[in-house]
Chain A
Amino acid sequence: MTTGPTIGVLALQGDVREHLAILETLGARGAPVRTSEELDGVDGLIIPGGESTTMWRLARSFGLLEPLRKHIHDGLPAYGSCAGMIMLADRLEEAAPGQETIGGLDITVRRNAFGRQVDSFEAELDFPVLGEPPMRAVFIRAPWVEGVGERVEVLARVAGRATGRGVAHAPDSEAVTGRIVAVRAGRLLATSFHPELTADARIHAHFLEIVKEA
């Protein structure tokens, strides 16, 4: 058995199992988190992909929203993919009525920014912090980051696109430089896409480094 850190995966809804599986391949101890007691026992937290409005409502109903905010405010390292990025954002565009987040990341995230499921896509993504080769990034009804605070580091961008009934709200200049799809600020990491759906464990390994440094 490993003596490494315990990484919680928020298990209210979403692709929890994929994150736990990828943690296992890295030799880390993963643990599903549904209660504040379970949250107290982790050294880092992953918020998975899923439906952000469902996660928010369940977190609120079961009294988990405030403990999550407190832990993250107090420095708990966290990584969010897709819906997890939405949950970590301080500000949302296209939120459901009344939708709240955990917050902590000084970013504005637009939900479903790349469009509907017919617009969902995969692409080769340069991710300089991780080096070569590029990531095979899977975007599913994905959000993008529309604005970042001063202390937020942009880690990756992808060319903006919108087809069919897809939505394209952001200004055209962004379409040239590329939409922001990965960010880090301190101990918080977020991606619009789903590395857990591929065999590429580099993002999770990067997050484990953040946890170990914390």
Chain B
Amino acid sequence: MGTDRINPTTQKRFEPVSDQTQSTSQSASSPVSTETGTARVKRGMAEMLKGGVIMDVVTAEQAKIAEDAGAVAVMALERVPADIRAHGGVARMSDPDLIDGIIDAVSIPVMAKARIGHFVEAQVLQSLGVDYIDESEVLTPADYANHVDKWQFTVPFVCGATNLGEALRRITEGAAMIRSKGEAGTGDVSNATTHMRQIRAEINRLRTLPADELYVAAKELQAPYELVREVAELGKLPVVLFTAGGIATPADAAMMMQLGAEGVFVGSGIFKSGDPARRAEAIVKATTFYDDPDVIGKVSRGLGDAMVGLNVEEMPEPHRLAERGW
């Protein structure tokens, strides 16, 4: 990190931050005060992923399959959520060798997961050159009180949320992208549906409130007033909102897009299915043509077995990953 450190107070106000690492300009080219790691650069990266599918991969081989299928990015991790669930134990950041291998294998962006609150795992991932860090409830939390102070990093973060207040708290900590948590590793889309509907409903409610009631709304959401007012005015989060957690079919992906997701994370759903390459490509197509049932139907044919799946309602609550984080 060193000189890449960002002053969190200035960045929160979205003012340019000077960065001593850059000033190589000479002669004809634009003289530069170039700045890395600004909010605009971090959030902008997520804007470029919109309408796309980000796929969990555990090997360089899988990363290539994902890239060939049209993924906009891959998420490098040691075990897909379904296996983390099956094998139990503590789930941590991946081996740097594995992440290096995936970075070298593909030309699309590479994301990787760090444990909630594990700022050193995040520092390591930044130094490896990953393009986005997912501070993820899928891994075992490293801190049950605090999330990572994401303003301190040049690399952007995506975080999970089950409702608007949680999303806004993560944005307050510096998250540049939000995803629904859903219930990872189940192939059961019901929780992702609940979270997307919940976030949408709470945003819609803010839009209808008179200005003088936003103060109490902020208190109820346990989120800063400024951010609450911004959401009320914009009618959306100030960062990109993807969906994640239990998406297993093209129709699942399209449904989440129709519910307002701006893109889709697919974890176990692809590489735990019968024909990962075809399913991956089908989910990519269904995400682009999410409002065209003819296309969704066409790409859904002959995909082989979907991942077997676990019914979230039948799972005891302590085993639900979405309960992690707050």
- Residues of A at the B interface (CB closer than 8 Å) are 11-18, 34, 49-51, 53-54, 57-58, 61-62, 82-83, 94-96, 111-112, 116-126, 134, 138-141, 156-161, 163-165, 175-179, 194, 197-198
Contact = CB atoms under 8 A, between A and B. Distances in A.
Nearest to B100: A165
A132 to B, nearest CB: 13
B59 interface: no
Contacts of B22: 121, 161, 163
Which one of A16, A95, A134, A141 has the greatest number of beta carbons of chain B within 10 Å?
A141
24 contacts: A11-B51, A13-B52, A14-B51, A16-B51, A51-B49, A53-B108, A54-B72, A54-B284, A83-B48, A117-B132, A118-B126, A118-B129, A120-B41, A121-B41, A122-B35, A122-B40, A138-B41, A138-B44, A140-B41, A158-B34, A163-B22, A165-B103, A177-B29, A197-B47
Contacts of A179: 29
Contacts of B28: 157, 177-178
Q: Size band of the B side of the interface?
A: 35 or more
B154 interface: yes
A95 B108 CA distance: 10
B131 to A, nearest CB: 4
B32 interface: yes
A112 B34 CA distance: 17
B107 A112 contact: yes
B50 A16 contact: yes
B73 interface: yes
Interface of B: 4, 16, 21-22, 24-38, 40-41, 44-45, 47-52, 67, 69-73, 103, 106-109, 126, 128-132, 154-156, 281, 284-285, 288-289
A21 B109 CA distance: 26
A123 B24 contact: no
Contacts of A158: 29-30, 32, 34
Contacts, number: 173
B51 A176 contact: no
A197 B73 contact: no
Given A15-B48, A51-B72, A124 B30 contact: yes
Given A61-B285, A123-B35, A141-B109, A15 B29 contact: no
Interface core residue of A18, A120, A197, A198 (most chain B CB under 10 Å): A120
A17 B50 contact: yes
A161 B34 contact: yes
Contacts of B155: 117-118
B40 A12 contact: no
Contact of B47 (A15, A121, A163, A178): A15
B30 A123 contact: yes
B50 to A, nearest CB: 6
A15 B240 CA distance: 10
A165 B203 CA distance: 39
B24 A124 contact: no
Contacts of B40: 122, 138, 197-198
A18 B262 CA distance: 13
Contact of B50 (A14, A34, A198): A14
Contacts of B156: 117
Contacts of A141: 45, 48, 109, 131
Contacts of A177: 27-29
B45 A140 contact: yes
Contacts of B34: 121-123, 158-159, 161
A134 B38 CA distance: 19
Contacts of B130: 116-117
Contacts of B26: 159, 176
Contacts of B37: 118
A198 B26 CA distance: 26
B288 A50 contact: no
B110 to A, nearest CB: 8
A122 B41 contact: yes
A53 B69 CA distance: 10
Given A14-B51, A134-B30, A159-B24, 16 more contacts: A17-B50, A50-B72, A51-B52, A54-B52, A54-B284, A58-B284, A120-B45, A121-B34, A124-B33, A139-B41, A140-B44, A158-B29, A159-B26, A160-B24, A177-B29, A178-B29
